[in-house]
Homo-oligomer: A and B are copies of this chain.
Amino acid sequence: MSQAIQKLEKRIKSANSLLSVGLDPDFDKLPERFKKLEQPQFEFNKWIIDQTHEFVCAYKPNTAFYEARGEQGWKELRLTIEYLKEKYPDIFTICDAKRADIGNTNRGYVAAIFDTLGFDAITLHPYLGKEALAPFLERDDKACIILCKTSNPGSGELQDLLFQSRDDSSRDPLREVWLAVAESVANDWNTHGNCMLVVGATYPDELKQVREIVGDMNLLIPGVGAQGGDVEATVKRGINSKGAGLVINSARGIIFADNPANSAQTLRNSINQYR
């Protein structure tokens, strides 16, 4: 098991929490008092982190909200991860970047996200296959979180295509593409014990099937709150044999709540109630 995954599992225990807070500081939605500051996204994140840290196992900034502000946003993403590493080094950090390129090019992203910024984990598209993702998958100190069944309403367009193996076209039942991803990651990509999968809370039945395939592997679950995923269904269908194995992310529902600390504590407790 990779150091990053060990760190996650240790934090889940010590904080008694499966909650991840999405640090998605959409500039237009920031409270007015932050918009005026020189580093609005970083200052907002700091404010969120300082009041929610005891309730979380992970923080997950999504790069889109930072890139929208160019190099200034990229700088505030860096300040955020530096703040987390210094002040709360036990908390698992996920860069929700959804990257994936050919192997040679992925080395740039590895340098950017794992080394320069120092995140514990990154989210990745599976479309180019294991061979292309090798620069990420080789990192036995980090965690690679592969998109499997995403939370958006239209995720089925490609992910639910039914495929048949080339070798044995008559016997095997048809299976979905997302199932192929879950099986490949569990049985082939995870040689360093550093893989996780993304499964949306909006698809609890698929979550249950993924859990059956991947054993105790940790899963990142977006889609509770604003996207409509149900906490009880998510926990009951997704929990692993150790009563954990889930990192349930909420962003808008916490960071833009009237009282973010309260919202984080409430969701953490609500999740724990069903474990």
Interface residues of A (CB under 8 A from B): 24, 26, 62, 64-75, 78, 96, 98-103, 105-109, 111-113, 116-117, 125-132, 147, 150-159, 161-166, 169, 174, 177, 180-181, 184, 222, 227
Contact = CB atoms under 8 A, between A and B. Distances in A.
Contact of A112 (B67, B113, B151): B67
List 10 tightest A-B contacts by C-beta distance, closest first: A131-B154, A64-B108, A129-B157, A67-B112, A68-B108, A68-B111, A129-B154, A161-B163, A71-B74, A71-B75
A181 B157 CA distance: 10
20 contacts: A65-B108, A66-B108, A67-B108, A69-B112, A70-B78, A73-B112, A96-B101, A102-B222, A125-B125, A126-B158, A127-B147, A127-B150, A129-B155, A131-B152, A131-B154, A131-B155, A132-B152, A158-B184, A162-B166, A163-B163
Nearest to A117: B70
- In the complex this chain forms, how many copies of it are found? 2
B108 A158 contact: no
Given A98-B101, A99-B98, A100-B125, A112 B64 contact: yes
A162 B163 contact: yes
Contact of A127 (B127, B163, B164, B180): B127
A38 to B, nearest CB: 15
Given A70-B116, A102-B227, A163-B177, 10 more contacts: A64-B112, A98-B125, A125-B125, A128-B155, A129-B155, A129-B159, A132-B154, A132-B155, A162-B166, A164-B174
Contacts of A96: 101
A128 to B, nearest CB: 5
Contacts of A153: 131
Contacts of A154: 128-132
A152 B71 contact: no
A246 B196 CA distance: 38
Contacts of A130: 154, 157
A161 B176 CA distance: 10
A8 to B, nearest CB: 22
A113 B158 CA distance: 25
A164 to B, nearest CB: 6
Nearest to A115: B68
Contact of A128 (B24, B152, B162): B152
B105 A24 contact: yes
